[in-house]
Chain A
Amino acid sequence: MPQTVKYKRLRKELRAMALTTGLVGATTLLIFAIIWQIGLTRGTVAYFIPVLIAATRWGIVSALYAAILGVLASAFFFFPPRFSLTITDPQEVINLVLYVFVAIVVSQLATRLKRQLETSHRREIEIRDLYDFSRRLAVAFDVADIQSAIEDHLTTVTQRKVVLFAGARESGTAGKRRNAGAAPPEVLVEVKNFAAAGRDNVTGVTVAGDAGETWLVRAVSPKSPEFGLIAINFGRHSQDDSDELRARVDAALADATATLERLGIAHAINEAHMRSQTDQLREALIGSVSHELRTPLASILGAATVLSTAPALQNEPKLQALVQDVRSEAERLNEDIQNLLDASRISSDGIKPQAEWAEPADIIDSALERCRSRMAGHRIVLNLPSDLPLIHVDPVLVKQALVQIFDNAAKYSSPSSQITVAARARDGRMVLSVSDQGAGLSATEQPQIWDRFVRGERQAATTSGSGLGLWIANAFIAANGGRMNAVSDGPGKGATLAIELPVTQAAVPHMESDADE
């Protein structure tokens, strides 16, 4: 195989020589033309043209060849005696020597320039690849994204098939699943051994594949096993070539790991592993908490309702009141459990709105239904226009946000006061507002009410609560693309809490026909 390569290089060189000869010939004809047309006799300067062209395009050898051809052609065609290589005029000899000297300098300069251009061009490609790579890493969402980015980057840089195996810890199993059949079995075995041995082998090992190909197996970074292992298909190459390739792989990996380390990817990968485990744990915990806590609550509530209707208690107002207490406290406990579960769902970025076209009046109705017993004493005034547009939201989340607001309104206002619920659509937004005549908000309280675990100092002593309610409501509304705001004239003057939701009227899908059938 080296023979073919050398032959190729020779052929390339010969082609350049032939082209140079052609160029010199063309220049000679040009000079002849100038002599005939204008009568200029000192045309040898024109031989710099082929020298320059050859130097920039084909390198120093062709440039020197062009210079020699130029000297010969000038001596033969233009310096007296013509059509002979002998030169009589010493002036002309000096000219020619000068010409040769300048040609050599020029061709050297041109070749160096060419090489620099090529280097900077290659460097530019490398930098672009690296830049692409770090950009992909920046938007990578999970470990798999990062790994496929590493894999793609190495494939681009080495121009060889690269297979990446996930973290050495997993003994390449994850990688195997992802790249089933991407590498021959021998390589997979070696990957496994390599990972199991956990050696910090920088150069890696070569494996011969079944089709006579050689594969290089090595760690992406000897310092950070999180990045995994790579197997690179070297194809059928001689020792020289694979050494060269190996150097290129080393360089590419060094660049890549530098980028990975700069971005703290190792840390991120570890964290992602840990986070997915914590997520699973949390899911399981939430599931069992809600089941384990709610099942006894159901029994308590069931027993309390049976007790409250028991004939034996009909004439015992004190016992009746106690049963009522048990019931309402059990209900409150249930709400608190729900709030804690909602809060942990929000913290783990777990709200995924199930948007559908919803009737705003239905949402308000069902929120009122939920809070009916809590607001039993209050006068509820509904102010709903009949032509409210449909909104595209998750109705359950919006309802839960409303329930929190109603809950607050009922809690912080006197039992006989009025609560006004209004809805209106304006400027592409739907505003649902709840106004009470209760404790109101002071200027310092106003910006704080949306924070987690914040409770008004005036209220903390007299009413119970976790300080989660409005924070949850705000998160639910934000998940639906809306926002909340609170307005109050001051302490004791009541407050109005409003939910603003986008109304995408234009996006309401057209009904096939308004008429029936």
Chain B
Amino acid sequence: MHEAGSGTEGIRAATLRPIDIVIVDLGLPDMDGSEVVERIRSWSTVPIIVLSVRSTEAQKVRLLEIGADDYVVKPFGIAELLARVRVALRRQSRAASGEPAVTVGPLTIDLAARAVTLDGVRLALTPKEYRLLQVLAQHAGNVVTHQHLLKEVWGSIHMQDTHYLRIFVRKLRQKIEPKADSPKILATELGVGYRLAYSGAEGETPVLAPAKAES
């Protein structure tokens, strides 16, 4: 682990050694944390998690758009941060190994076979519903912004039509959630987007189900 006290130092450190994950605090003495995210993202695919005081939802969306994988709002518990780090690392390793299936609690999405099963039972999804789930599964555990989902599923001219998303998420939840009125798999990040993550009955922070390939 390397600790850097300023933005420039952090960026230099990230170029000097192979790193697994970057955690950036938005309040840096020399530059805005979002600039660090932008700079590192310009040449690296390393997972980036942003720590911030409660910033507005618009700022969170912007951070995700410029390349942050996730954010944790201050003050946070260590468990929450660790869960986010684990998710980001897992996504990275899954992308590297080309593992096709994403498992979230009782739900499994096989991206290669385009098959979705809930507790082993195959679900019948319409093409748009599958596409929505696919985009979320590709970022399993991380927030996907409304704008990103709308662009990927409906095309960039519908980027502002959040009602499309609401209606399809409602339909999708009825199919993939064990209990549609208390969603445990397709979680809402109010004002930002959606997150595919399983929150067990007693778990305080949403975590992915026990994984086969833990790094």
Q: Do A and B bind each other?
A: yes
Question: Is B39 interfacial (CB 8 A cutoff)?
Answer: no
- Min CB–CB distance B171 → chain A (angstroms): 10
Given contacts A290-B54, A365-B182, A509-B161, whether A516 and B27 have CB atoms under 8 Å apart is no
Given contacts A302-B78, A384-B181, A517-B127, whether A359 and B57 have CB atoms under 8 Å apart is no
Name the one of B27, B77, B182 contacting A291, with C-beta atoms under 8 angstroms.
B27
**Which of A265-273, A392-400, A443-451 forms part of the interface with chain B?**
A392-400
Mark out the residues of chain B between 59 and 77 whose CB falls within 8 Å of any chain A CB in the assembled complex: 74-77
Residues of A contacting B: mostly: helix
Name the one of B54, B126, B163, B181 contacting A361, with C-beta atoms under 8 angstroms.
B181
Question: Is A356 interfacial (CB 8 A cutoff)?
Answer: yes
Name the one of B74, B170, B190, B204 contacting A395, with C-beta atoms under 8 angstroms.
B190
Q: Are B163 and A511 closer than 8 Å at their CB atoms?
A: yes
Nearest-CB residue, chain A, relative to B25 = A295
Q: A509 to B77: give the CA distance in the assembly, Å.
A: 41
Name the one of A305, A382, A384, A511 contacting B164, with C-beta atoms under 8 angstroms.
A511
Q: A356 to B46: give the CA distance in the assembly, Å.
A: 32
Given contacts A354-B191, A359-B169, A363-B190, whether A294 and B74 have CB atoms under 8 Å apart is yes
**When each residue 282-310 of chain A gets 1 if its CB lies under 8 Å from chain B and 0 otherwise, what string results?**
00000000110011011011100110000
Q: Are A297 and B74 closer than 8 Å at their CB atoms?
A: yes
Q: Are B128 and A302 closer than 8 Å at their CB atoms?
A: no
Mark out the residues of chain B between 143 and 197 whose CB falls within 8 Å of any chain A CB in the assembled complex: 146, 161-164, 166-167, 169-170, 180-183, 188, 190-191
Name the one of B57, B58, B128, B181 contacting A382, with C-beta atoms under 8 angstroms.
B181
Nearest-CB residue, chain B, relative to A357 = B163
Question: Is A508 interfacial (CB 8 A cutoff)?
Answer: yes
Residues of chain B at interface, number, CB under 8 A: 36
Mark out the residues of chain B between 72 and 92 whose CB falls within 8 Å of any chain A CB in the assembled complex: 74-79, 81
Interface centre among B53, B79, B161, B166 (most CB of A within 10 A): B53
- Min CB–CB distance A331 → chain B (angstroms): 8
Nearest-CB residue, chain A, relative to B130 = A516
Known pairs A395-B191, A516-B129 / 20 extra A-B pairs, C-beta < 8 Å: A290-B54, A294-B75, A297-B74, A302-B76, A302-B78, A305-B79, A306-B78, A354-B58, A357-B162, A358-B162, A358-B166, A359-B166, A359-B169, A359-B170, A362-B190, A363-B190, A365-B182, A372-B204, A511-B164, A517-B128
Which residues on A are within 8 Å of B, measured CB to CB? 290-291, 294-295, 297-298, 300-302, 305-306, 330-331, 334, 338, 354, 356-359, 361-363, 365-366, 372, 382, 384, 386, 390, 394-396, 399, 508-509, 511, 516-517
